[in-house]
Homo-oligomer: A and B are copies of this chain.
Amino acid sequence: MMNEPAKQRMTRQRQVILDELMSRKDHPTADELYAAVRRKLPRISLGTVYRNLDVLMRSGLALKLDMGGAQSRFDADISPHYHVKCVSCGRVDDIRETGFVEITLPPSRDDGYAITGVRVEFDGICPQCRGRE
């Protein structure tokens, strides 16, 4: 009756995916991760990468970033921080200084929504693309 948490095994594939994701500070897409992980596990499949990213996400070990654009990006840094997306080249970086964002969740009335969360994302031009202008 109880909703038992699903028993998950830390398989070799899952561990390698998580390690890879934690080792980088960019925010790779599933296929970028697939390419990287394949160097250690040549027989791994893209489907497995997707399935494991989903598991890691549900377990709270990774974040899925929908920053617009076709592909999702993933982040193993689950500490609170914001993201900037370069409107020119599409890369996504962290923003660590959060002092300039001030959001007070509105009380649950208004049009009746009970607000449960906010997402703040920045657009910008990365240093590389700035130099190239």
Q: Which residues of A contact B (CB under 8 A)?
A: 66, 68, 84, 86-87, 93-95, 97, 100-106, 110-127, 130
Task: Give the distance to chain B from A126, nearest Cβ to Cβ, in Å.
Answer: 6
A100-B104, A100-B105, A102-B102 as given contacts; A119 in contact with B116, CB under 8 Å: no
B residues within 8 A CB of A111?
93-95, 127
Closest residue to A72 on the B side, CB-wise? B68
A66-B66, A95-B110, A97-B110 as given contacts; A115 in contact with B104, CB under 8 Å: no
Would you call the interface of chain A mostly helix, strand, loop, or mixed?
strand
A118, B113: Cβ atoms under 8 Å? no
Query: Which of B93, B100, B117, B126 is A103 in contact with, Cβ under 8 Å?
Result: B100
B residues within 8 A CB of A66?
66, 68
A113, B124: Cβ atoms under 8 Å? yes
B residues within 8 A CB of A116?
87, 123-125
Closest residue to A115 on the B side, CB-wise? B124
Task: Give the distance to chain B from A67, nearest Cβ to Cβ, in Å.
Answer: 8
